[in-house]
Structure 1
Amino acid sequence: MVVRYRLDGPDLGGVRFAISPLNELVLSLHAWRDPGRYPLHLPWIREMRRVRGRLDAELLDCLVNDDLWTPDFLTPRPWSPLTRLADELAAIRRTGNGVVDRDLRLLHGPGRLPAPLRGADVLDRILDALTGYWEACFAPHWSRMRALLEGDVTFRGREIAQHGLAAMFAGLAGRVRLRGDTVEVHVRSQVHYTRPAAGGLTLVPSMWTSSASAPILPAEPPMVIYLARGLGTLWEPQPLPAPGALAGLLGTHRAGLLVQLATPASSTELAARLGVTVTAVNQHLRALRAGGLLVSARHGRSVLYRRSDLADRLLAG
């Protein structure tokens, strides 16, 4: 079925990107139900299973149904690429009991609410379980995960600047298209609605979707969750290939970093991608920038590095 968001007038300029730690945390529970769908995450899944006994696994398992849906109130629309988990959890704590009960019953069907999701304190128990899950399974890896998501947002921003909004939407996923002033998202569930993207449309990269998804209820804020680029490299250090002549001039690591920086990236992202420390990457980046081969610019709380025109000419030669 299809979800359509109309971008009327100012809404075209209201297309924004955001990153949600809470969305990633909740959507990763799909891997509890069906790990075979996530072969690229197998190193992480194996580690998660070793700590499962320390978590409220019974409750966490109930937050995903057999169709791999999760409650909408646990995947709110984020507003920034710099969203913090603590802020999202604080906002979820203010969710009304009626909304929580509605979404949980939509998830499991009438009369089928599992025992761990019953009771007046269910929201507090859900948030406590998710907090424990975050600390055991996500916190040790979040810098690597966030670097991947931030890299995707940077790439999409360049796509808009260089090729336009329609090309960026076409590159998000096979299920997403911009037709005229309407964004179409083809979803797996039996959902079909059209609504204005009042206040703008938020695009959220994720490591836990096969293509793209949107909220099942039209009353929810306009949002598209899509698969982030580069997932296949998340859990493996990347090789650092470098042209032979340039490696002889600069050294293998610095020449390899120049190759990597065809797309702007932060030192944290590069360290996660290459499986080395941020300190080691920063030493090379500072030397390359001092030599006029890199330029840098602040993006939120991160500093992004990209090749200079001189570096592009060196690599082209």
Structure 2
Amino acid sequence: MKARLTFSVNDLAETRFAVSPMWEVVTSFRALSAAVVPHPHRWWADQVRPRLAAAGLDRGWLADMIPPIGHLPDFLNPALATSSPGLSDELAAIEATDPEQVRRDLDQLAAEREGRLSPRLRSLHRTPRTCLPRIVAEIEAYWGLAIAPYWARIRSVLEADVFHRGRQVAEQGTAQALDELHHTVRWANGSLHLVQRHCAITRIETGAGLLLVPSVFAWPRVLTRSVVSEPPQLAYPARGIGTLWERRTHARMEALAAVIGRTRALILTELDAPASTTELAQRSGLSAAGVSQHLTALRAAGLTSTHRAGRSVLYARTGLADALLTAQT
């Protein structure tokens, strides 16, 4: 299927980029639900899948709504008022979704599934306002297990992509930037042409402008959202995905060790993958009590963050810690 989105001068003027936590939620869950996880994300998936299974999140609301292929409910990716909304902002918008929008999305899902919806989705269709808070609560739980521990490195990739595209717009124009988003996206004669689309998207069906959202988990596809009277959204694979999960080269570990101590520097290097206190003790050869004391100090200094995963707590490096460890001398 092909789609064609025409642009007026006003549409071009209202085209903008944004980073969206909810697009990462939706696309990451889709990646996990695939029979084979896309190659760039297997390291991440190997860590996350057991946590989701233990929490039952692999068989909840998101599992019912987000298929490996096919329609994604538009209400899960609300219109973005700013270029960098917080997850709480998007969740508030989801909870406030017009019930008729929810039902339209579910009707489209049902059409793709030969009229069948799960018991959960049938209840959502009947009473959206009752069910939406439960969906929001599940998204928060999923975020804490699957995205939050990795958000610093994910966000850095997304923000770097937006910076690159913004500079490209300034130097070469919006049309050129649109033409280079993805191999299935082509700019020609005042229109954006999208091929291999599951759903059609036209200017008649949407509002003005265009919202471009880089995503690390959308790879290798481009995804669209089209809602009457709202700017269409296009989620495209961000640049730099290939190196997202690579183990970092810690160019300044020795210099950092001289400041915060070798043990704490070692703990930070071991946090390439988020881990519990017990896991860090096993990786580093230190006692769990000793690791806990060091983590408390590192968190107070803004170098680690904590994320609850069921009964345990995962520790992750912050963006500040990444910068201190990987900056070139």
Length-normalised TM-score, structure 2: 0.69
Instruction: Quote the residue 2:109 is aligned against.
Output: 107
SS of alignment partner, residue 28 of structure 1 = helix
Equivalent position to 1:75, from 69, 74, 77: 77
**What amino acid is the match of 1:200?**
G
Structure 1 residue runs of 4+, over 4 Å off? Answer: 216-220, 238-241, 282-285
Partner in structure 1 of residue 234 of structure 2: 224
CA-CA distance at 1:190 after TM superposition: 4.7
Q: Which residue of 1 aligns with 2:198?
A: 189
Which residue in the other structure is 1:90 paired with?
A: 92
CA shift for structure 1 position 111: 3.2
**Alignment partner of 2:222 out of 186, 205, 212:** 212
Per the alignment, residue 137 of structure 2 pairs with 128
Alpha-carbon deviation of 1:181?
Answer: 1.9
Q: Distance in 1 between matches of 2:103 and 2:319?
A: 45
What residue in structure 1 maps to residue 21 of structure 2?
Answer: 21
> What letter corresponds to residue 323 of structure 2 in structure 1?
V
Report the aligned-residue RMSD.
Answer: 2.9
> Relative to structure 1, is the Cα distance of residues 62 and 129 closer, same or farther in structure 2, using a 3 angstrom cutoff?
same
* Alpha-carbon shift at residue 218 of structure 1 (Å): 5.7
Structure 2: gaps of 5 or more residues: 252-301, 303-316
Q: Deviations over 1:200-258 (max 9, x none)?
A: 211110112223222255655322111100101111135589xxxxxxxxxxxxxxxxx
Which residue number in structure 2 is paired with residue 152 of structure 1?
161
1:15-63 residue CA offsets vs partner (Å, 9 max, x unmatched):
1000110111012111232152411111111111121221433222111
Q: Is residue 161 from structure 1 mapped to residue 170 from structure 2 by the alignment? A: yes
* More moved, 170-179 vs 2-11: 2-11
Q: Cα distance 1:155–1:77, how it changes in 2: closer, same or farther (>3 A)? A: same
Counterpart residue type for residue 138 of structure 2: A
1:281 aligns with 2:323: yes
Aligned 8 A contact 1:3 1:214 in 2 = no
Residue-pair matches, total: 255
- The amino acid across from 1:2 in the alignment is K
Q: 2: CA distance between counterparts of 1:123 and 1:220?
A: 21
Moved more, 156-165 or 231-240: 231-240
Shift of 1:141: 0.9
Distance 1:191 1:5, change over 3 A: closer
Distance between the aligned counterparts of 1:44 and 1:280, measured in 2? 18
- Could you list the per-position Cα deviations for residues 150-200 of structure 1 after superposition, in whole angstroms to 9, with x for gaps in the alignment? 000001111112222222112100111221222222243152534387442
1:54 maps to which residue?
A: 55
Give distance in 1, aligned partners of 2:166 and 2:225. 23
Q: 2:211 aligns with which of 202, 220, 240?
A: 202
CA distance in 2, matches of 1:276, 1:99: 37
In the other structure, the counterpart of 1:261 is none
Aligned residue for 1:4?
4
Letter in 1 for 2:10: P
Q: Kindly state the Cα deviation for residue 8 of structure 1 after the two structures are TM-superposed.
A: 1.2
SS in 1 for 2:160: helix
Counterpart of 2:224 in structure 1: which amino acid?
A
* Structure 1, 104-113 or 150-159: larger mean CA deviation: 104-113
| Paired residues of 1:3 and 1:194 also in contact (CA < 8 A) | no
Q: Which amino acid aligns with 2:11?
A: D
Assess if the C-alpha contact under 8 Å between 1:6 and 1:183 holds in 2.
Answer: yes
Distance 2:148 2:318 in 1: 18
- One-letter identity of the residue aligned with 2:242: G
1:118 aligns with 2:122: yes
TM-score by length of 1: 0.71
In structure 2, the CA distance between the partners of 1:192 and 1:16, relative to structure 1 (3 Å rule), is: closer
**1:278 counterpart letter in structure 2:** L
Check conservation: 2:153, 2:319, Cα contact below 8 A: no
User: What is the alpha-carbon distance in structure 2 between the residues aligned to residue 276 and residue 51 of structure 1?
Assistant: 21
- SS at the partner of 1:43? helix
